[in-house]
Structure 1
Amino acid sequence: MQYVAVSALSHPGLLRERNEDSLVAGPWTLCATVTESPQTLVFPLGTPVAIAVADGLGGHPGGDLASALVARRIASVGPALTSEDAVRDALQAGNRAVYEAAGGDGGGAFATMGTTVAGIVVRSGSLLVFNVGDSRVFAASPDGLRQVSVDDSPPLEPGRRTTSIVTQCLGGSPAYRAVHPHVTAEPLSPGDRYLICTDGLTDPVPTDVLDEVMREHDDGRAAFELWKAAIEAGGPDNITLAVVRVSDE
């Protein structure tokens, strides 16, 4: 039997007063809280296993509520995410749920609460990658890290490596906006590794550093060293990440 191992952590960073990120791995969720060290979970690969991060929009009240809502919904429907269409439907339903939770009429303190989301659904022999917003999914291989999610961000200005602007997210505006999730299928073999993370990791830490950490360390230590790199770079945002491995053991 194949297994899915997930080493994950979520931390507010050094500058934010609270953590507005959430994480889901199978039926397990970590919402708007703090882990001091990576938590490792192992799931038998029978029904689909969903692993995802959600980054509540900074500067908008209720970002922690939006990310938690989406993470818990993914946890509840994860075993049913058997196809690309099922994932798209789940993300579109999550978008509607965020608007409904915000009040649905463009008013109230949480009218613009929203969240990004990015993750994978591990199936036997294949994997579905999905995202809305700028949280990311990378495939890690001997050839290096390869981003397999699609950033919903405007083109970067010359000389800039990152941007805090997203062109779509779940919720995030007073009036309802539909989303068009990015969902793609990837082949899957034992030993494959993936990194799923919010921009609290990728904004301060260049991709070549992420690649070096993933090459040099096993899963739990890699998760810790990635968090450490973000902290040493100033920890400007909430940091949530999961290192995922598919194994026969």
Structure 2
Amino acid sequence: MGVAGGEVTVTALTHRGAVRPANEDAVVTGPLTVASANMTVPARCVLPTSEPMILAVADGLGGHAAGEIASEHAVHRMAETGPRLSGPDDVDVLLKNINEEIKDHAEQHSEFSGMGTTVAGLLVMPEGNYWFNVGDSRAYRLEGTRLRQLSEDDSPPVPPSEDGTPASTTFITQSLGGSGSAAMVPHVGRDHEPDPSTWLLCSDGLSDLVPLEKMERIIAEAGSDEAAVHTLWQEAIAASGRDNISILLARRV
């Protein structure tokens, strides 16, 4: 159950990485959205939990500028709709609506054919929390010093690489929008752990490049959430930074 009169502290950063010419990721924290940004310093905000809100990262697909449009549309819709959501069924409907809206836009503009976005996030409500995702962006719960993945990757399993680097794939089985013809089915679940709670949301620009154990160590050893998010970003850059990087660290008290 939520804590009456509580709040969520969110620390977020989104960046194009070291290779991509533009950032097709976007993030949403309650009523606030950031898209097409190139942050090098994390932003921190404190939001009351008196009404429902969405915290999420979205990773645009389809190339500049199609991916930017898809991810920005997704976070704007989540920001405006979040306060009216009443539970997991509403999240499911919202994500399906966003999926159809992105597909409709791509059909009307041939230059954006195939554009889409992944998403991973939380619906934070006065009486509880729900996680959701589509694609391979991730939602983790911090349990002590361990990160437990809540989201379900929509990507085929990849065998570990011979040199021990994190396995990754650019192929996903579903997204919001995109070129797939199969019905999109969001993953939505109740976070049954009691408050206070801490979560890490990220695009695969972090999770593909920085091993889970290293992410856990960085969060445990950082002197602040801002330092943790900044160091996670630096580690992804050092590990090639080949993709856009979005990180959101949220604490509910």
Q: Secondary structure at the match of 2:54?
A: strand
Q: Does the Cα contact within 8 Å between 2:29 and 2:55 map onto a contact in 1?
A: yes
Aligned to 2:204: 199
TM-score w.r.t. the length of structure 1 is: 0.93
Please give the per-residue CA displacement for 1:38-65, whole angstroms capped at 9, x wherever unaligned: 1001111111121001101154750111
Count the aligned residue pairs: 244
Q: What's the counterpart of residue 3 of structure 1?
A: 7
Report sequence identity in percent: 40
- Opposite residue 122 of structure 1, the aligned amino acid is V
Matched, 1:72 2:76: yes
Question: Could you report, residue by residue, the CA deviation over 1:127-177 in whole angstroms, capped at 9, with x for unpaired residues?
Answer: 11000000000001215110000000012135372111100001111x754
Unaligned segments of structure 2, at least 5 residues: none
Choose 50-59 or 152-161, whichever is displaced more: 152-161
**Contact 1:52/1:71 (CA < 8 Å) preserved in 2?**
yes
2:170 alignment partner, SS class: coil
Post-superposition shift, 1:33?
1.3
Pairing partner for 2:231 from 225, 229, 238: 225
Residue aligning to 1:172: 178
Q: 1:153 aligns with which of 149, 152, 155?
A: 155
Query: Greater CA deviation, 46-55 or 153-162?
Result: 153-162
Does the 8 Å CA contact 2:44/2:226 hold for their aligned counterparts? yes
Task: Write the distance in 2 (CA, Å) between the matches of 1:50 and 1:24.
Answer: 7
Hey, which bits of structure 1, 4+ residues long, moved more than 2 A?
Answer: 58-61, 157-160, 175-178, 187-191
Distance between the aligned counterparts of 1:59 and 1:23, measured in 2?
Answer: 18
Map of 1:133 onto structure 2: 135
1:35-74 correspondence runs (5 A)? 35-57=39-61, 59=63, 62-74=66-78
**Given that residues 168 and 179 in structure 1 are in contact (C-alpha distance below 8 angstroms), is that contact kept between their aligned partners in structure 2?**
yes
**Kept in 2: contact 1:61–1:113 (CA 8 A):** no
Most deviating of 226-235 and 129-138? 226-235
Is 1:48–1:81's contact at 8 Å kept on the other side of the alignment?
yes
Q: CA deviation at 1:191?
A: 3.3
Indicate whether 1:215 and 2:217 are aligned.
no
